[in-house]
Amino acid sequence: MNNLSFLPPHTGSPKGGPLLSSLIARFATGLLVFAISSSLAQAGSREQAVQIHNRVAGVPPSEAVLLQMAAQIDAGQVAEAVKIAMNNESFYSVTLKNMATPWTNRDQTVFAPLNDYTATVIGLVRDDADFRTALYDDVIYTSNASGLPTYSNSNNEHYEALENLGISLKDTLVRRTQSTINGLPASATSGIITSRAAAKAFFIAGTNRAMFRFTLVNHLCRDLEQVHDTSLVPDFIRQDVSRSPGGDSRVFLNNCIGCHNGMDPMAKAYAYYDYEFDITADPDGVNGAIHYNSEGVIDPDTNSRVEKKYRINSSTFKPGYVTTNDDWQNYWRKGQNSHLGWAWNSPALSGMGSGAKSMNMELAHSKAFASCQVEKVFQNVCLRKPGDATDRAKVEEFTQNFAANNYQLKQVFIDTANYCKGQ
């Protein structure tokens, strides 16, 4: 039976026999694919409005909203149509929450509860803030809804109740000064990086390299393998890194060094931070809190403000670097990682400084940070990663537009929704 078996029977065989039948079948299939593609590309304003609302807000539009959006699209005002979709509560409680939640935990799962990290991302987007400041401002968002537990440094009850009660994130989130509610000095706050959720996920135990690595993954869209460079000076690699793993120094020289020579000089910025909890009564750290060694506080294990975790496994390689302060340097400004666009639109940054705030500003003011936000929104709205040359050109265009519009993330949603509206 050939591919045209669904056709009525006929008498006689066409000239060319099975070959001609096969060609006809392929032609018919091609016409079908072309018809489907053309239908999507030429979708009417109502169809485009439905798609935009579904992808931006995460829910179907009402008939009234659909008519408003379609009218804007017919008038050539696609941006206004997207803004209508972004005005829906679900843009905040579904789309933005689902996009940001994986950034708040090591498993990168979307199923984690609402927390101060996610709420702050949502608030900054709603308020059209410069999204770069998410990594370094003295800012946090809480809800002003009545009947909620107050914000606590030692639990997540405020946000879990906010989510469980279905209270509007669009209408009740309030911007607050982080240092007034979590006890950190203003100079030690660093946006979502010093949120309780981030501390619980990435400052807990370990050596604080996890905070740096996940910041890189979540906000520059690069893991350590993508910035691996064995050519840099290894002078800040700590004592806990073996110079001959398994007795073979080549493993260090060809692998370990390529990540640690860039990471360790920058992870120094987190030297005064920890996440503290009662490991006996609360082994998972559910009720812990961020901790910071302020000026004048001396850790007895390091005889400095540096947390003792920076001395873990210090006997592994005694001649290794000993962290004594939170000064940092960005060695990636030279070599192959210079293409990440350091100090993009921010020429005053020097690539060195002290503390988390200035180091995270270095990361946030890179072109890689800007393009990463575009790629994440692109994937959420277009339901695929940027692929071909046309997609990549659009990512570059949207990145430039993101910067030109004061790094307001809503602009990226507008650009990507417009680009993908017929796909």
Which element (helix H / strand E) includes 394? helix 389-404
pLDDT of res. 265: 98
pLDDT of res. 42: 53
Beta bridge partners of 289: 276
Structure tokens at 384: 């695929």
Report the C-alpha dihedral over residues 245, 251, 252, 253, rounded to 10 degrees.
150
Phi, psi angle pair for 299, to nearest 5°: -80, 125
CA atoms within 13 A on the CB side of 160: 8
Residue type, 380: N
- DSSP 8-state secondary structure symbol assigned to residue 88: S
CA distance linking residue 161 with residue 150, whole number of Å: 10
16: left (phi over 0), alpha (psi -120 to 50) or beta: left
- DSSP 8-state secondary structure symbol assigned to residue 403: H
The number of beta carbons lying within 10 Å of the beta carbon of residue 208 is 25
pLDDT of res. 249: 97
CA distance linking residue 119 with residue 175, whole number of Å: 10
Q: Are 343 and 370 in contact (CB under 8 A)?
A: no
Q: Are 383 and 345 in contact (CB under 8 A)?
A: no
pLDDT of res. 380: 96
Identify the three-state secondary structure at position 6.
coil
Which element (helix H / strand E) includes 273? strand 273-276
CA distance linking residue 109 with residue 100, whole number of Å: 10
Residue type, 30: G
84: left (phi over 0), alpha (psi -120 to 50) or beta: alpha
Beta bridge partners of 291: 274
Query: Which position has the token pair 């990463």?
Result: 372
Beta bridge partners of 304: 299
Q: Are 208 and 243 in contact (CB under 8 A)?
A: no
Report the C-alpha dihedral over residues 151, 157, 159, 164, rounded to 10 degrees.
-150
Residue type, 319: P
How many Å is the Cα radius of gyration of the chain?
A: 26
Q: What is the pLDDT along the chain (423 residues), one digit of tens a residue?
A: 444 333 344 444 444 444 444 444 444 444 433 343 344 445 699 999 999 999 999 999 999 999 999 999 999 999 999 999 999 999 999 999 999 999 999 999 999 999 999 999 999 999 999 999 999 999 999 999 999 999 999 999 999 999 999 999 999 999 999 999 999 999 999 999 999 999 999 999 999 999 999 999 999 999 999 999 999 999 999 999 999 999 999 999 999 999 999 999 999 999 999 999 999 999 999 999 999 999 999 999 999 999 999 999 999 999 999 999 999 999 999 999 999 999 999 999 999 999 999 999 999 999 999 999 999 999 999 999 999 999 999 999 999 999 999 999 999 999 999 999 977
Residue ranges covered by each domain of the chain: 17-87, 88-203, 205-359, 369-420
Which element (helix H / strand E) includes 275? strand 273-276
pLDDT of res. 326: 98
